[in-house]
């Protein structure tokens, strides 16, 4: 018994030794700065000794912050389901024996390796006032649209987000589909199960862990759409696409570090709440399936 405990203790020390560089890097570049941001968010000035809730009060009373939070929420609520559903359908298609399947898989992964500046250039060419889409409309006698300075801007950003992240989700779904044993489908065929029954009872059921992972990654990536939005529409875009990242960027430019820290804390808490809800739903679903 003592020998086993010594062996387990030795393995624990070896594991910690291998993890030490990553743990030190995580603490140094993420944990410590975030802790410092939390402390600064409760200060009225940098280096102040007292703690106050003034930054959070001013933040929640700010109309710009409310607009940014509302736009970010609706963007995530609309774009994530579209992305997950589209990527799942494409993964189901690419998992079949279709023509040019390998070429199609490569095409969907290409946006992951294309630089953001190149992506933005393509979308600017499409949706500029003198862009390709407006040229197409005028060719058929229709009026031009100022896409990025109207309510259409939200749809454009959703399109960019879906196009950019589609390949990553397709790869995840394909990995999940290929891990489903073929025997389940063979048994279902012998029992005369319909395609919809096989899709619902086998495919979607065994894709549940992958689906939750895809939803989680899609939500996290929806908070990173600032780069594309900023490059396409600038620091002060149309009200429809003024996201929380725009508010944080403009707060940083004004050197209001205390308020910026408060925004960062609120954003981190929001993501933490979303992740906690997703994991709880997953645990309940797994318990239900068992």
Closest CA to 81 of 169, 148, 153, 167: 169
Residue % of the chain over a pLDDT of 70: 91
**pLDDT level of residue 29 (50, 70, 90 thresholds):** confident
pLDDT value of residue 225: 83
* Vertex 187: Cα angle to 186 and 193 (nearest 5): 95
pLDDT value of residue 233: 78
pLDDT value of residue 81: 93
Please give the mean pLDDT across all residues of the chain: 83
State how far the Cα of 194 lies from the Cα of 66, in Å rounded to an integer: 49
3-state DSSP percent of the chain in helix, strand and coil, to 5: 80, 0, 20
Q: Over the stretch 61-108, which tens digit does the pLDDT of each residue have?
A: 988 899 999 999 999 999 999 999 999 998 888 887 666 666 666 666
Q: Over the stretch 177-222, which tens digit does the pLDDT of each residue have?
A: 888 888 888 888 888 878 888 888 888 888 888 899 899 999 988 8
What pTM, to 2 d.p., does this model score? 0.82
Q: Over the stretch 11-20, which tens digit does the pLDDT of each residue have?
A: 888 888 888 8
pLDDT for residue 128 is more than 90? no
- DSSP letter for 237, please: -
Beta strands in the chain (DSSP E): none
The per-residue DSSP string of 260-278 comes to: HHHHHHHHHHHHHHHHHHH
pLDDT value of residue 101: 61
Q: Which CATH class is domain 61-289?
A: mainly alpha
pLDDT value of residue 218: 92
What burial class does residue 253 get, using C-beta atoms within 10 Å of its C-beta: 0-12 exposed, 13-18 middle, 19+ buried? Answer: exposed
pLDDT value of residue 99: 62
Tell me how crowded residue 175 is: count the other CB atoms within 10 A of its CB.
12
Side-chain half-sphere CA neighbours of 281 within 13 A: 13
pLDDT value of residue 2: 62
Tell me how crowded residue 242 is: count the other CB atoms within 10 A of its CB.
22
State how far the Cα of 197 lies from the Cα of 133, in Å rounded to an integer: 42
Give the residue-averaged pLDDT of 238-252: 86
């Amino acid at each position: 018994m003592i020998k086993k405990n010594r062996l387990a203790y030795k393995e624990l020390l070896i594991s910690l030794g291998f993890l030490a560089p990553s743990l030190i890097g995580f603490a140094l570049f993420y944990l410590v700065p975030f802790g410092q941001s939390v402390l600064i968010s409760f200060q009225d000035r940098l280096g102040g000794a007292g703690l106050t809730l003034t930054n959070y009060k001013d933040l929640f009373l700010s109309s710009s912050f409310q607009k940014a939070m509302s736009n970010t929420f609706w963007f995530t609520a609309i774009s994530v389901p579209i992305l997950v559903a589209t990527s799942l359908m494409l993964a189901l298609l690419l998992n079949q024996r279709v023509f040019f399947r390998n070429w199609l898989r490569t095409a969907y992964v290409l946006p992951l390796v294309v630089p953001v500046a190149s992506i933005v250039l393509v979308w600017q060419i499409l949706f500029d006032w003198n862009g390709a889409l407006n040229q197409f409309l005028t060719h058929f006698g229709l009026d031009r649209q100022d896409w990025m300075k109207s309510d259409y801007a939200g749809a454009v950003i959703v399109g960019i987000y879906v196009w950019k992240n589609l390949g990553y989700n397709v790869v995840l779904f394909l990995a999940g589909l290929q891990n489903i044993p073929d025997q389940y489908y063979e048994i279902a065929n012998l029992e005369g199960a319909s395609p919809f029954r096989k899709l619902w009872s086998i495919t979607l059921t065994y894709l549940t862990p992958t689906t939750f992972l895809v939803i989680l990654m899609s939500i996290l990536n929806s908070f990173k759409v600032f780069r594309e939005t900023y490059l396409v529409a600038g620091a002060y875009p149309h009200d429809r696409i003024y996201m929380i990242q725009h508010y944080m960027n403009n707060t940083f430019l004004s050197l209001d570090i205390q308020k910026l820290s408060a925004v960062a804390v609120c954003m981190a808490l929001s993501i933490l709440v979303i992740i906690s809800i997703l994991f709880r739903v997953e645990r309940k679903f797994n318990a239900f399936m068992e």
